[in-house]
């Protein structure tokens, strides 16, 4: 089972996106665990859980470079969710993006 974790400022609006992503995953019988967390919990969750992909909400996109540098040795993709997809809560596009990142990461290992 792949783990896709979303981090945002407080975890509230991202939880709505997670629900939409899970609906798409269930519809296509994908074995994924998708969760949202407030950014303040990121370090503990990332180091303990070792997700396959980390997506940042647009409101914390300024942390992207710091996160990529801090966790580069863990070998997981870390990217920002497309602001348009986030704004309209397009769970399908965000899930496709996460899966693409996971596959590219596995291919490059």
Give residue-wise pLDDT tens across range 38-74.
999 999 999 999 999 999 999 999 999 999 999 999 9
Q: Under DSSP, is residue 28 helix (H, G, I), strand (E, B) or coil?
A: coil
- 2-107 classified as CATH 3.30.499.10: no
Q: Which of 4, 6, 8, 98 is catalytic?
A: 8
Q: Examine the residue annotation and report whether 53 is marked as an active-site residue of this protein.
A: no
Global confidence as pTM:
0.94
Place of tokens 């981090």: 7
DSSP 11: S
Q: Where are the domains of the chain?
A: 2-107
């Amino acid at each position: 089972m792949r783990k896709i974790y979303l981090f945002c400022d407080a975890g509230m609006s991202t939880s709505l996106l997670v629900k939409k992503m899970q609906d798409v995953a269930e519809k296509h019988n994908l074995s994924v665990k998708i969760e949202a967390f407030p950014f303040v919990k990121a370090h503990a969750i990332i180091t303990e859980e070792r997700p396959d992909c980390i997506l940042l909400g647009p409101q914390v996109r300024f942390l992207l470079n710091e996160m990529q540098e801090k966790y580069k040795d863990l070998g997981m993709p870390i990217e920002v969710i497309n602001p348009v997809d986030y704004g309209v809560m397009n769970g399908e596009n965000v899930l496709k993006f996460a899966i693409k990142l996971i596959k590219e990461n596995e291919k490059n290992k």
